[in-house]
Structure 1
Amino acid sequence: MTPARERSTVPRNSEISGERKPLKPEVEPILGGSETDQAADSQPQTPELPDSGSSGVPESRTSDDPKWTTLERKEARLRADQLSSLAELRRHVNSQRMERSEIITDNTLIRVAVDLLLEHSHRLRGDTEDDLRRSVLPRRRPANANQGYAD
């Protein structure tokens, strides 16, 4: 049987200095910058984006603005298999890139998929998600030309 150990405690600020000082939150800059820059930027500036349901059009993009500031937010629910396949595809696309001036994210690929769906919207038919998917996906030809066809 081992002897009971005495529990250690961390002294409070008041026990160390004799008085308790209020906590003050501080954040270090991510990309560096001088202390005078930090003082001028005491209030964080966030770009104004329209709500997801609004019909407002974002202002025109300048070369200094990140692309995402021109986009509107829309939430979508994806299946777990879609999320993992999308992440795998993003990694593959990024590994094959020659030029990296634009960031390719899962959202980038989702926007491409939406563009493809809208481009082929004239083919969209069906009452269920599976029906809609089958109507716009290219028809697959069997590996053997005679396979899959009735005589």
Structure 2
Amino acid sequence: MSKHVSLRKAITKNDAPQTTSVPATAPSTAPSPTPAYEELVRKEARLRSEQIEEIARLRRRLNSARNAAEKPLPSEQRSPSLQDHVITRAAITYLLENADAIDGWTEEGILESLRRLKG
């Protein structure tokens, strides 16, 4: 013998959501600023293993220099550690800032354009 249970419930006037009024003097809470990483769009890039290793080596060198320079500062005044994606974004920004001077139809051709910029 199974008991029939109705999943429907009659909604009465008292079952409606209750609203609470906020006094006019209550302080409004402003939304906190969006973290910088949430403003970025995810984009996958395929890198060669030696590129990944060199970016990591560069990151470690820059972080070591930063740590040495900021050692006397209180922790709240120190910069956050660099990460690989920060270095990658900086390189892309440099590339785009020099877009007018870049030519070439291959990776090597584009690199040659960038090397000419360096002088």
One-letter code aligned to 1:121: A
2:64 is paired with a residue whose SS is helix
Question: CA contact under 8 A between 1:121 and 1:136: conserved in structure 2?
Answer: no
Normalised to the residue count of structure 1, the TM-score between the two structures is: 0.47
Partner residue of 1:70?
39
Normalised to the residue count of structure 2, the TM-score between the two structures is: 0.59
Partner residue of 1:85?
54
1:132 to 98, 101, 110: 110
Q: Higher RCO, 1 or 2 (CA under 8 Å, sep at least 6)?
A: 2
**Which has the larger helix fraction?**
2
> Cα offset for 1:66?
3.5
One-letter code aligned to 2:93: D
Question: What is the CA RMSD across the aligned residues, in angstroms?
Answer: 2.0
CA distance in 2, matches of 1:118, 1:106: 19
Partner residue of 1:121?
99
> Does residue 1:112 correspond to 2:116, yes or no?
no
| 1:3-82 map, 5 Å | 62=33, 65-82=34-51
Q: How many equivalent pairs are there?
A: 79
One-letter code aligned to 2:37: W
| Unmatched runs of 5 consecutive residues or more in structure 1 | 1-60, 142-151
CA distance in 1, matches of 2:36, 2:88: 15
What percentage of residue pairs aligned between the two structures are identical?
Answer: 38
CA distance in 2, matches of 1:116, 1:105: 17
CA distance in 2, matches of 1:102, 1:138: 33
CA distance in 2, matches of 1:140, 1:116: 12
> Cα offset for 1:84?
0.2
> Cα offset for 1:101?
2.4
CA distance in 1, matches of 2:65, 2:116: 25
CA distance in 1, matches of 2:96, 2:112: 15
1:29-77 deviations in Å (ceiling 9; x for gaps): xxxxxxxxxxxxxxxxxxxxxxxxxxxxxxxx81xx5321221111000
> Cα offset for 1:140?
6.9
CA distance in 2, matches of 1:67, 1:115: 16
CA distance in 2, matches of 1:71, 1:128: 27
